[in-house]
């Protein structure tokens, strides 16, 4: 009997487990616990050259490759030989190419521990989000508190990724140490870039830096929080901003219903990148009936509306509404707040439909 068959047999013993076909079963998701058993576990043949088990919850988006940790969620302990087989397969397929978006996604996870030396980073984020953050927020917003621990947690081999180039490896290790002590980051949708915010580094003047884990991948920058999205939503919303803090701030301010899965949120990196990001999101969701909402930087009285109107002109007939949102508030020092990235400052929304 093949390894995947042994695992499926064990999973079928779960209450309510049922067989879909010879290589796929249906279970109750251990994350969302939907009453209709939305979790599918089965062989992934389309993307991988070998028979490997993957899982996908059609309700909450819990997805990945079957591993020891996944089986532990069902209190299943298999033989050492079976578990070693899972490790071997996972090592062989750390990169998965999405056949629709053509994006290569690394199989990296966010650590679920907070080290004492990283507590000040959580306090910094809590100040910006204007509420205490918890471990669930770390996973949802893909927060990397400590880059060094992220590398350890995912068993990332720097030497191999950098082609055993001693100078590149030396520089990379130096940067990882500096990031780990003084920066906090958010992991991009391909799990290969970390958008880092400088909190108290004396070595670097830059407020934001991008750390690339695997330089051999050429995916464009795109950050999307790990928030479930209902692809069958009747009235979805595509929400975009340039920076990660801006899109998180907008989500925290204006999208308060955690059970509303009709929204997708994305940080695109730079002002000219909105269209590229929108095209990628359309490939991922098919949301041609969506409202598009941009949360952009306020740079003066003209608001730059003409720039966004011209940029989105070819797409205006595809979407019922395209909105440009500005924060036009003035802080206590009389300075414009400009964006949505720091909720400890006032927010006054001004909206245009283009």
Please tell me the chain's helix, strand, coil percentages from 3-state DSSP, rounded to the nearest 5.
Answer: 30, 20, 45
**Residue at a domain's end among 196, 212, 228:** 212
Query: What are the pLDDT digits (tens) for 264-301?
Result: 999 999 999 999 999 999 999 999 889 999 999 987 66
Which residue range is the domain that position 64 belongs to? 3-93
Q: How many domains does the chain contain in total?
A: 3
Q: Do both 183 and 286 map to the same domain?
A: no
Round to whole Å and give the CA distance between 131 and 45: 44
User: Does residue 308 sit within a domain?
Assistant: yes
User: Does residue 304 sit within a domain?
Assistant: yes
Q: Do both 307 and 347 map to the same domain?
A: yes
pTM of the model: 0.71
User: Does residue 226 sit within a domain?
Assistant: no
User: Does residue 111 sit within a domain?
Assistant: no
Query: What are the pLDDT digits (tens) for 175-215?
Result: 999 999 999 999 999 999 999 999 999 899 899 999 999 99
User: What is the H or E stretch that residue 327 is in?
Assistant: strand 321-327
Question: Which phi and psi angles does 137 have, rounded to 5°?
Answer: -65, -35
**Long-range contacts: 71-77, Cβ < 8 Å, 24+?**
71/7, 71/10, 71/11, 73/30, 74/11, 74/14, 74/27, 74/30, 76/10, 76/11
Across the range 307-322, mean pLDDT stands at 93
**Residue at a domain's end among 177, 212, 247:** 212
Q: Do both 18 and 89 map to the same domain?
A: yes
Across the range 241-249, mean pLDDT stands at 97
Query: What are the pLDDT digits (tens) for 120-168?
Result: 999 999 999 999 999 899 999 999 999 999 999 999 999 988 888 999 9
pLDDT for 64 equals 74
Per cent of the chain over pLDDT 90 is 58
Q: Do both 342 and 258 map to the same domain?
A: yes
User: Does residue 128 sit within a domain?
Assistant: yes
- The pLDDT-based confidence of 86 (bands split at 50, 70, 90) is low
Window from 75-84, 136-145, 238-247 with minimum mean pLDDT = 75-84
Q: Do both 87 and 122 map to the same domain?
A: no
- The pLDDT-based confidence of 234 (bands split at 50, 70, 90) is confident
CB atoms under 10 Å from CB of 10, counted, come to: 16
Q: Do both 85 and 151 map to the same domain?
A: no
User: Does residue 220 sit within a domain?
Assistant: no
């Amino acid at each position: 009997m093949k390894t995947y068959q042994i695992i499926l047999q064990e999973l079928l013993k779960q209450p309510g487990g049922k067989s879909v076909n010879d290589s796929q079963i249906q279970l109750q998701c251990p994350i969302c616990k939907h009453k209709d058993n939305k979790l599918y576990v089965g062989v992934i043949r389309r993307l991988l050259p070998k028979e490997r088990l993957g899982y996908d919850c059609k309700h909450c988006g819990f997805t990945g490759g079957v591993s020891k940790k996944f089986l532990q969620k069902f209190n299943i302990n298999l033989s050492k030989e079976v578990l070693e087989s899972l490790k071997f397969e996972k090592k062989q397929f750390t990169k998965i190419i999405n056949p629709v978006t053509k994006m290569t996604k690394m199989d990296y996870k966010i650590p679920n521990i907070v080290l004492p030396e990283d507590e000040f980073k959580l306090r910094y984020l809590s100040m910006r989000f204007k509420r205490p953050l918890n471990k669930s927020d770390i996973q949802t917003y893909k927060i990397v508190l400590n880059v060094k621990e992220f590398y350890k947690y995912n068993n990332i081999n720097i030497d191999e990724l950098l082609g055993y180039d001693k100078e590149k490896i030396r520089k990379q290790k130096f940067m990882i140490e500096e990031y780990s002590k003084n920066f906090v980051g958010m992991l991009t949708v391909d799990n290969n870039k970390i958008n880092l915010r400088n909190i108290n580094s004396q070595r670097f003047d830059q407020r934001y830096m991008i750390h690339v884990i695997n330089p051999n991948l050429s995916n464009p920058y795109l950050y999307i929080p790990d928030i479930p999205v209902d692809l069958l939503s009747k009235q979805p919303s595509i929400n975009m901003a340039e920076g990660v803090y801006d899109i998180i701030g907008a989500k925290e301010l204006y999208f308060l219903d955690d059970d509303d899965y009709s929204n997708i949120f994305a940080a695109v990196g730079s002002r000219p990148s909105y269209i590229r990001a929108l095209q990628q999101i359309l490939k991922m969701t098919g949301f041609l009936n969506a409202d598009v909402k941009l949360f952009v930087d306020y740079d003066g009285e003209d608001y730059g509306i003409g720039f966004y109107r011209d940029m989105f002109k070819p797409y205006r007939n595809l979407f019922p509404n395209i909105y440009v949102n500005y924060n036009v508030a003035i802080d206590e020092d009389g300075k414009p707040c400009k964006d949505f990235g720091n909720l400890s400052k006032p927010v006054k929304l001004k909206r245009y439909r283009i």
